[in-house]
Amino acid sequence: MSSESREIVVLVLKDVVYRHSGFRSLEEFLVEKYGFSKIEEKEHKISELKKIIPIEGKEIIFAEEAEAPVISEKIERKLSSLKIYEGNYLDAKIRVCILGGVIQKEDIIVGAEEEGQYPVYTAEYQMIKLIGESGYAMQQFIERLTVELGLKIKSKEWVFHRCREG
């Protein structure tokens, strides 16, 4: 019987804001961009709100507003979720757990004529846990996501735990 121990690192992120125009959610981004796979998913929709904002008839007060894009549609969903994704970064296995309340917003923006319409997706996560054996890989992964996505994280908490195998 082996009494070898290993260290498990947990990074808890609270009040995380994700914003992107190509991927609806952080989960979709992790799967498509980094090859993460879904381990578990439970989701309960709490509410959904759809607003259509008329573009015509809006009075433009400042000249710079004429150039600015105008939101034409806004959808907001509130969910309670438990989602677990697993993948590798810097040759280290990382498990991403999305827990608690999630607010997903989808804004359809009308740009200038050559730009057309494009979506902007925003998700506000109550809590995201990253679990792995390499604190360095997890730190680098979060820094990479912060740079790529402009993630806004209100607070981070590191937890280190030793466990014995055998």
User: Is residue 118 domain-resident?
Assistant: yes
Domain count, the chain: 1
User: Is residue 75 domain-resident?
Assistant: yes
pLDDT at 23: 93
pLDDT at 25: 94
Task: Give the residue ranges of the chain where pLDDT is below 70.
Answer: 1-3, 54-71, 111-115, 164-166
Do residues 110 and 69 lie in contact, with contact meaning Cβ atoms separated by under 8 Å? yes
Closest listed residue to residue 97, CA positions, set 142, 39, 141: 39
CA of 132: how far to CAs of 72, 74, 119, in Å? 42, 37, 33
Give the structural domain span for 45: 5-52+68-164
pLDDT at 3: 58
User: Is residue 147 domain-resident?
Assistant: yes
pLDDT at 2: 52
User: Is residue 58 domain-resident?
Assistant: no
pLDDT at 57: 46
User: Is residue 57 domain-resident?
Assistant: no
pTM greater than 0.85 (yes/no): no
Distance CA 53, CA 50 (A): 10
